[in-house]
Amino acid sequence: MDDRALARTLARMATEIIERAQGTEGLVLVGIQRRGVELAARLRALIAQSEGVQVPRGKLDITLYRDDLQTVGPRPVVGETSLPDLDGRIVAIVDDVLYTGRTVRAALDECSDFGRPRRILLCVLIDRGGRELPIQADIVGRTVSAGPGDRVDVLVSELDGRDAVELVRP
Amino acid sequence: MTATLGKDLIGLETLSREQLQLILDTAEPFKEVSERAIKKVPALRGKTIVNLFFEASTRTRISFEFAEKRLSADTVNVASTGSSVSKGETLVDTARNLEAMRIDMVVIRHGSSGAAQFLGQRIRSNVINAGDGKHEHPTQGLLDMLTLRDRFKRLEGLKVAICGDILHSRVARSNIWGLTKLGAQVGVCGPATLLPRNVHELGVTILPRIEDAIQWADALNVLRLQLERMEAGFLPSLREYNRVFGVTNERLSRAPKDLLILHPGPMNRGVEIDSDVADGPHSVILPQVTNGVAVRMAVLYLLAGGSPDWAHPGGGGE
Instruction: Tell me, yes or no, if A169 comes closer than 8 A to chain B by beta carbon.
Output: no
What are the tens digits of pLDDT across the range B19-34?
999 999 999 999 999 9
Whether the per-residue pLDDT at B315 is higher than 50: the answer is no
What are the tens digits of pLDDT across the range A21-51?
999 999 999 999 989 999 999 999 999 999 9
Q: List, as ranges, residues 81-120 from A with C-beta within 8 Å of B.
A: 81-82, 109-110, 113-115
Determine the pLDDT at residue B308.
Answer: 36
Instruction: Tell me, yes or no, if A61 comes closer than 8 A to chain B by beta carbon.
Output: yes
Q: Å from A89 to nearest chain B CA?
A: 17
Cite the beta strand spans of chain A per DSSP E.
27-32, 57-60, 90-98, 119-127, 139-143, 151-155, 164-168
Q: Give the number of other CB atoms < 10 A from CB of residue A129.
A: 12
What are the tens digits of pLDDT across the range A110-165?
999 999 999 999 999 999 999 999 999 999 999 999 999 999 999 999 999 999 99
Determine the pLDDT at residue B2.
Answer: 60
What are the tens digits of pLDDT across the range B186-221?
999 999 999 999 998 999 999 999 999 999 999 999
pTM for the model stands at: 0.90
Q: Å from B211 to nearest chain A CA?
A: 42
- B60 part of the active site: yes
Of B131, B215, B210, B209, residue with least CA distance to B172? B131
Residue A112's closest chain B neighbor by CA? B38
Residue B312's closest chain A neighbor by CA? A74
Residue B27's closest chain A neighbor by CA? A78
- B135 part of the active site: no
CB contact under 8 A, B301 and A75: yes
Rounded-to-integer distance, Cα B80 and Cα B72, Å? 25
- SS3 state of residue B204: coil
Determine the pLDDT at residue B317.
Answer: 31
Rounded-to-integer distance, Cα B78 and Cα A123, Å? 49
Which of A156-160, B85-89, B117-121 is predicted least confidently? B85-89
- B36 part of the active site: no
Determine the pLDDT at residue A121.
Answer: 97
- B109 part of the active site: yes
- B96 part of the active site: no
